[in-house]
């Protein structure tokens, strides 16, 4: 599973980070980045929850 954050959509709500800090981190400006494109084993469900709960639909999973 891979995740990417669309910088143009992200508004820094941090929901992704609060749901799955193992996969998402926040920049100094408060916007999200994926720590790595590949989601570590065991964190797929949490990453999927972050995708589903991003209010800006900024996260893409594949
Ligand atoms: S939940 Fe969505 S809008 Fe909020 S920081 Fe994460 S990617 Fe950005």
Q: What domains can you pick out in the chain, each with its CATH number? A: 3-61 (3.30.70.20)
pLDDT in the model for residue 44: 97
pLDDT 10s digits, 3-55: 999 999 999 999 999 999 999 999 999 999 999 889 999 999 999 999 999 99
The finding on whether 33 has its CB within 6 A of some atom of ligand 1 is no
Record the tokens describing residue 38, joined without a space.
Answer: 């590949």
Whether the full predicted model's pTM is greater than 0.85, yes or no, is: yes
In 10 A of CB 58, how many CB atoms?
20
pLDDT for res 37 = 83
| Spatial CB neighbours of 32, under 8 Å, sequence gap ≥ 6 | 5, 10, 12, 14, 16, 17, 24, 25, 26, 58, 59
> For residues 44 and 5, is the Cβ–Cβ distance under 8 A?
no
Cβ atoms 3, 59 nearer than 8 A: yes
Q: Is the CB of 11 under 6 A from ligand 1?
A: yes
């Amino acid at each position: 599973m891979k995740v990417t954050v669309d910088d143009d959509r992200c508004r820094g709500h941090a929901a992704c980070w609060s749901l799955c800090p193992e996969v998402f981190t926040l920049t100094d400006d408060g916007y999200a980045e994926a720590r790595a494109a590949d989601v570590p084993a065991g964190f797929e469900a949490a990453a999927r929850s972050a995708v589903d709960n991003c209010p800006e639909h900024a996260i893409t999973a594949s």
